[in-house]
A and B are shown apart, each in its own frame.
Chain A
């Protein structure tokens, strides 16, 4: 009996060890790809396999990075873009959820508005950019609006769908206890759809980046999107690639934060 127990322990330890080794291999290869890619890029640029004027090089981008940190201009552009993106995706998500609530509240309204939602959803929202800028002025308000508008309709559709999917017997229980429509929404519909809303946050973060960067292209005053378009216009591709890498980094960080938030909220 004891012996069996001992071998079971050993088997388990062996399993854990195998898992760890596997994990280490994966990490190793991830790091290797990273180093290989940037070394190849650097070498290709140094030896002129690619045109260094177009494709720059990691070392040039790094030098620019240091320069932009020390003169403080990175923070200015980064702050602007982060603020616009966060504001855009929060406004977009909340407005989408509110619109979904209105649709849920009035069945008739939802039927009337349905074809318009389909059209708006299918429409590429960034195409509205020039009109938004004309309407709201060439400033950060327009850019936030672009970050928001890109996610509103899809949030509405997804969340409204979740509202409808709840088991009607929960509503029956509440109604039998004397609940009004408003109470049913508060006690059952909304909390039951909470996981869907949180996962729409995750999608919306990515969408808002698109809206904001395009907005900055158009408004061309400040921000990482502006750096890209400016670099493009003066043919400074080190600047373009630098801005691109910064965007990739912070978009990933934001996505991870929302994912952490999701895990935390849904476990409760």
Chain B
């Protein structure tokens, strides 16, 4: 059984005068430990799709099933971790308090959680800064703290909404490697939203290419085994990277001109 099933999901946004078809008939499945990227130009409904999967908005039509459970209300959201374009660390909380937000909200905050938070921060390479405030950290460090906040709740599925796009290029490359390695280590599944073709290629097992207005799946690319097993940074230098890049590029360009 797949971890996540997205079944014929459509979503419309309504306004007084008009409505936007943000998503149209999206179906796919995601297995345990699998990494899928959703690639598409800006405004094609990627964020909407993630919000639906996360249970933050309910789709106009269709359903999403996580681990056999289609009725996901408040309590079950903890099975998913959500990371956004920016870190959205709360500036008035220390890094440690930020990381412990999930346990606090779910009333699981105790001494053992403090230990876990410490371990989690070590894991993301931020030991000894638990008492600092977010504005004392660099962009990359903040995004790693946000990752720790997401991982401490032990989500079954990670939802990543362009989490690297606000970082400078070097930090982005380093963080890609880091996240990819961490996900492999814990055998976690992830759904990454991006408009960056190379990022999608080097991070994922599969890429869903979305076309805009309405957001529909245009094409599904399977990444070859030799790329999937390499860390992102090395995958970028692999000979078959360029080949796939060209293929995806052509498809995506066709979307934008049509």
Report yes or no: B88 in contact with A176, Cβ–Cβ below 8 A. no
Residues in B neighbouring A44, C-beta threshold 8 A:
none
Q: How many residues on chain B are close to A (CB under 8 Å)? A: 21
Q: Is A178 an interface residue (CB 8 A)?
A: yes
Report yes or no: B101 in contact with A187, Cβ–Cβ below 8 A. yes
The interface centre, meaning the residue of A174, A175, A176, A268 with most chain B CB atoms within 10 A of its CB, is A176
Residues in A neighbouring B115, C-beta threshold 8 A:
none
Report yes or no: A176 in contact with B92, Cβ–Cβ below 8 A. no
Q: How many residues on chain A are close to B (CB under 8 Å)? A: 18
Report yes or no: A178 in contact with B84, Cβ–Cβ below 8 A. no
- Which of B34-42, B70-78, B219-227 sits within the interface? B70-78
Residues of chain B at the chain A interface (Cβ within 8 Å): 51, 54, 56, 74-75, 77-78, 80-82, 84, 86, 88, 90, 92, 101-102, 105-106, 153, 159
Report yes or no: A177 in contact with B88, Cβ–Cβ below 8 A. no
Q: Is A9 an interface residue (CB 8 A)?
A: no
Per the bound structure, the CA–CA distance linking A194 and B93 in Å amounts to 14
Per the bound structure, the CA–CA distance linking A178 and B76 in Å amounts to 8
Per the bound structure, the CA–CA distance linking A170 and B101 in Å amounts to 12
Report yes or no: A177 in contact with B106, Cβ–Cβ below 8 A. yes
Q: Give the number of residue pairs across the A-B interface with Cβ within 8 Å.
A: 50
Per the bound structure, the CA–CA distance linking A174 and B89 in Å amounts to 11
Report yes or no: A187 in contact with B77, Cβ–Cβ below 8 A. no
Per the bound structure, the CA–CA distance linking A220 and B9 in Å amounts to 71
Residues in B neighbouring A191, C-beta threshold 8 A:
90, 92
Distance in angstroms from B98 CB to nearest chain A CB is 10
Report yes or no: A177 in contact with B84, Cβ–Cβ below 8 A. no
Distance in angstroms from A163 CB to nearest chain B CB is 16
Can you name the residue of chain A whose Cβ is closest to the Cβ of B102?
Answer: A177
Distance in angstroms from A172 CB to nearest chain B CB is 6
Report yes or no: B105 in contact with A174, Cβ–Cβ below 8 A. yes
Q: Is A79 an interface residue (CB 8 A)?
A: no
Report yes or no: B84 in contact with A169, Cβ–Cβ below 8 A. yes
Residues in A neighbouring B90, C-beta threshold 8 A:
170, 187-188, 191
Per the bound structure, the CA–CA distance linking A167 and B86 in Å amounts to 11
Residues in A neighbouring B86, C-beta threshold 8 A:
169
The interface centre, meaning the residue of B86, B105, B159 with most chain A CB atoms within 10 A of its CB, is B105
Distance in angstroms from A131 CB to nearest chain B CB is 41
Q: Is A183 an interface residue (CB 8 A)?
A: yes
Report yes or no: A178 in contact with B105, Cβ–Cβ below 8 A. yes
Report yes or no: A172 in contact with B102, Cβ–Cβ below 8 A. no
Q: Is A180 an interface residue (CB 8 A)?
A: yes
Say yes or no: A169-B88 contact (C-beta < 8 A), given A176-B54, A178-B102.
Answer: yes
Report yes or no: B77 in contact with A172, Cβ–Cβ below 8 A. no
Please give me the 9 A-B residue pairs with the lowest Cβ-Cβ distance, nearest first. A176-B82, A177-B102, A178-B77, A179-B105, A173-B88, A178-B78, A177-B105, A191-B92, A169-B88
Some 10 contacts from A to B, beta carbons below 8 A apart, are A172-B51, A173-B82, A174-B105, A176-B54, A176-B82, A176-B159, A178-B78, A178-B106, A187-B90, A191-B92
Report yes or no: A177 in contact with B56, Cβ–Cβ below 8 A. no
| A87-113 with Cβ < 8 A to chain B | none
Per the bound structure, the CA–CA distance linking A170 and B51 in Å amounts to 14
Residues in A neighbouring B88, C-beta threshold 8 A:
167, 169-170, 172-173
Residues in A neighbouring B56, C-beta threshold 8 A:
172, 175-176
Report yes or no: A173 in contact with B105, Cβ–Cβ below 8 A. no
Say yes or no: A172-B75 contact (C-beta < 8 A), given A177-B106, A177-B153, A187-B101.
Answer: no
Residues in A neighbouring B153, C-beta threshold 8 A:
177
Report yes or no: B74 in contact with A177, Cβ–Cβ below 8 A. no
Distance in angstroms from B108 CB to nearest chain A CB is 10
Distance in angstroms from B244 CB to nearest chain A CB is 32
Residues in B neighbouring A188, C-beta threshold 8 A:
90
Per the bound structure, the CA–CA distance linking A6 and B237 in Å amounts to 52
A178 touches which of B51, B75, B92, B159 (Cβ 8 Å): B75
Per the bound structure, the CA–CA distance linking A162 and B157 in Å amounts to 34
Can you name the residue of chain B whose Cβ is closest to the Cβ of A167?
Answer: B88
Residues in B neighbouring A179, C-beta threshold 8 A:
105
Per the bound structure, the CA–CA distance linking A180 and B105 in Å amounts to 9
Report yes or no: A177 in contact with B92, Cβ–Cβ below 8 A. no
